[in-house]
Amino acid sequence: MTDKSPVLETTSEAIALATSLIRSAHHGVIATLEPETGRPLATRVGLATDADGAPTILVSALAAHTPALRADPRCSLLVGEPGRGDPLAHPRLTLHCDAREIERGSSEEARIAGRYLAHNPKAALYSGLGDFRYFRLEPVRASLNAGFGRAYALAGTDVLG
């Protein structure tokens, strides 16, 4: 490790913080690739988790991130909300994922929808609309910023289970 590489060794506390940030989140910001331009696109999504801790999202085909994820499943998700004081002093997690669309009417969708609506009851207002679909975000790797000078690089498997 050099002065230019401020990443700390992964600890069980860092993994516990990362999984807690994911499991407690009701929304996050997803970065996708805009198909027409290749530009990065930041949009808000509603969030829950599948049984193994992978994030799940419920998105409309009319929202920009949905065609983006269908064209290129690579995305990253930021979770962890600032509280009082400097917003950069609060923990947040960037989770790199590959998105996978869940088939309508599948048993996998039933499981994911049940968990999603238990976590976000108000989403029942639109979850059944024809243009809404669930995606599972398969974690690839993650970067945890636990506050100034406290950065950790995690494996995708660190945040599952």
Q: Give the binding site for its own copies (CB under 8 A).
A: 4, 6, 26-27, 29-33, 39-44, 46, 62, 64, 74-78, 80, 82, 85-89, 92, 94, 96, 120, 122-123, 125-126, 143, 145, 148, 151
Write the burial class of residue 136 (CB in 10 Å: 0-12 exposed, 13-18 middle, 19+ buried): buried
- Residues 113 and 150: their CA atoms lie apart, in Å, by 35
CB of 29 to its own copies, least distance (A): 4
CB of 128 to its own copies, least distance (A): 14
CB of 52 to its own copies, least distance (A): 22
Pick the closer one to its own copies by CB: 40 or 114. Answer: 40
Pick the closer one to its own copies by CB: 20 or 43. Answer: 43
- Residues 122 and 141: their CA atoms lie apart, in Å, by 30
